[in-house]
Amino acid sequence: MVDKYAVIGNPIVHSKSPLIHAAFAQQTGQAMSYEAILSPLDGFEAAVEALMASGYKGLNVTVPFKFEALKFASTRGKVNSCAERAGASNTLIFDANIGVIADNTDGVGLVNDITHNIKFEIRHKRVLVLGGGGAAFGILQPLVEAAPGSIVIANRTFAKADEAANRLAEIVKASNSRVSGLPKRFEELDGLQFDLIINSTSAGLTDSTLPISDSIFAEGCLAYDMMYGRETPFMAQARRNGAQVADGLGMLVEQAAEAFYLWRGVRPDTKPVMDKIRALAI
């Protein structure tokens, strides 16, 4: 019997998830199918209910439905801590006993890519997260669990940075962590330096330059853009200032691997899949 899974979003035609999960299934010998499903913007819950009724075992959820996915699970099952802290879910598990379980694997995917693939040690490092939106929220709990020395969250507007910093404070308190966190506007970063800088903004989509100083890149800094498939202005700036630079392709594959593990109980080898996706993007 072949178990059915899918990624659901709008738009969805660009998704690499079917290719990634097909590679994982082949590699691990799992009897499963995986497809991309376009949901109407006003019909997410009905689409998920129809998929559940037709026997699907789980879903990945992408833009713009991650917030709706969390709400859906909260009334039909349970929400795991990563999804709760992120305020959004990118992975749904359909359990016969519990119902719908919401999780969020984005942050775990990011941390796994940084620590396992790039071999960068986050522990005790000075971390800067650029952006105070949903993408930033999704990575905060796994970042705290990686035990950096400090986390600064910077945004164009202080209100959004402050909101993300308050979310960070809740995570730190709940995990008994000693990580310190501060909100800043981009312009307030002058004079500070960081060992790991993560760009969670969508500035790269429009080739926009962020108003950040060249001086923030410490010696040995890793500059990580959560976007993938293109050289963003942030990545170019980091490169000019001697930083090691990475895009978010590894995060994409690693978050998929975490979802695969939640569904199947098997951890795939991500490197050959990353190499395959990278080669296709060239």
Residue 260 three-state SS: helix
* Residue 31 main-chain phi, psi, to 5 deg: -85, 90
**Residues catalogued as catalytic:** 66
* pLDDT at position 229: 85
The identity of residue 196, as a single letter, is: L
Bridge partners of 84, per DSSP, are none
Triad 208, 209, 215: Cα angle to 5°: 165
What is the rounded radius of gyration, in angstroms, for the C-alpha atoms of the chain?
A: 19
Contact between residue 154 and residue 189 where contact means Cβ atoms under 8 Å apart: yes
The rounded distance, in Å, linking the Cα atoms of 179 and 115 is 18
The rounded distance, in Å, linking the Cα atoms of 91 and 264 is 13
Bridge partners of 128, per DSSP, are 152, 197
Q: Which domains does the chain have, with CATH numbers?
A: 3-104+251-281 (3.40.50.10860), 107-247 (3.40.50.720)
Any residues with CB less than 8 A from the CB of 226 and at least 6 apart, and which?
Answer: 110, 135, 139, 198, 199, 200, 248, 251
64: preceding bond cis by omega (within 30 degrees): yes
The rounded distance, in Å, linking the Cα atoms of 112 and 60 is 18
* pLDDT at position 282: 55
pTM, to two decimals: 0.95
Q: Which of 123, 80, 82, 70 is nearest to 106 (CA)?
A: 82
The Cβ of residue 115 has, within 10 Å, a number of other Cβ atoms equal to: 15
DSSP character string of 134-154: HHHHHHHHHHHHT--SEEEEE
Strands (E), 97-192: 99-103, 126-130, 150-155, 180-185
* pLDDT at position 205: 85
Tens-place pLDDT, residues 67-103:
999 999 999 999 999 999 999 999 999 999 999 999 9
Under-50 pLDDT residues of the chain? none
Tens-place pLDDT, residues 141-167:
999 999 999 999 999 999 999 999 999
